[in-house]
Chain A
Amino acid sequence: GENVEQHPSTLSVQEGDSAVIKCTYSDSASNYFPWYKQELGKRPQLIIDIRSNVGEKKDQRIAVTLNKTAKHFSLHITETQPEDSAVYFCAARPLWGNKLVFGAGTILRVKS
């Protein structure tokens, strides 16, 4: 089955700097890759997603890139702000599966 690894487990950046979180997946048939943000005490919420027919997707300060050959995808946050501090989860869904498989999460701290 699908296995998703996420790195780093914690990341501290200075306000205004960029943050990058990387995930690797094992099932080459996976075709959908969402990213969720979970603020302290809150529920995970989708912030951006990408499908396997696209290499990059942007939404304001957030972007996701996908490298199907290497089987990895990354979340890029530019001009980080204190409100970006949260736990971020990546996930992958195999083409023939119906479930999301989540990474272990990255704690992002933005220092002001």
Chain B
Amino acid sequence: DADVTQTPRNRITKTGKRIMLECSQTKGHDRMYWYRQDPGLGLRLIYYSFDVKDINKGEISDGYSVSRQAQAKFSLSLESAIPNQTALYFCATSAGADTQYFGPGTRLTVL
């Protein structure tokens, strides 16, 4: 869905580096989410936000932080990247608790 965008689309970084993944949406949705996808493990929720002043931890938040800069922007940071954070990361948005729309994903490799 072109209304949810993620940057960068691919990133290779080294252990210990700080990295930020960004998500923007033009759908006007209030809720935004960050997921991590690993083979055989499905989509696991890292953080979610129901509005600009609301940030909540998901099931695998350790090692990650987020910032909701505006209703349309939600960033995910890895303060000190480690190899087991190599994964495909998806941002998603929803209007209330309804259908979630996913961004195109960011493939992150930590060497």
Beta-carbon contact of A43 and B104 below 8 Å: yes
Q: Cβ of A44: which chain B residues have Cβ within 8 Å of it?
A: 43, 90, 102
Q: Cβ of B105: which chain A residues have Cβ within 8 Å of it?
A: 43
Q: Closest A residue to B45 by CB, please name it.
A: A99
- For chain B, the count of residues having a C-beta within 8 Å of the partner chain is 21
Which residue of A43, A93, A104 is within 8 Å of B97 (Cβ)?
A93
Beta-carbon contact of B1 and A43 below 8 Å: yes
Can you pick out 7 interface pairs between chain A and chain B where the beta carbons lie within 8 Å of each other?
Answer: A42-B104, A43-B1, A43-B103, A100-B100, A102-B42, A104-B41, A105-B42
Q: Closest B residue to A93 by CB, please name it.
A: B97
Q: Closest A residue to B39 by CB, please name it.
A: A105
Judge whether B74 is part of the interface by a CB distance below 8 angstroms: no
Beta-carbon contact of A99 and B43 below 8 Å: no
Known: A43-B102, A102-B42. Contact between A32 and B90, CB under 8 A?
no
Q: Closest A residue to B41 by CB, please name it.
A: A104
Which residue of A45, A49, A93, A104 is within 8 Å of B42 (Cβ)?
A104
> B residues touching A (Cβ–Cβ < 8 Å)?
1, 31, 33, 40-45, 48, 50, 58, 90, 97, 99-105
Beta-carbon contact of A49 and B1 below 8 Å: no
Beta-carbon contact of A98 and B97 below 8 Å: yes
Q: Cβ of B97: which chain A residues have Cβ within 8 Å of it?
A: 32, 93, 98
Judge whether A67 is part of the interface by a CB distance below 8 angstroms: no
> Nearest-CB distance from B87 to chain A (Å)?
14
Which residue of B31, B41, B42, B99 is within 8 Å of A46 (Cβ)?
B99
Beta-carbon contact of B104 and A89 below 8 Å: no
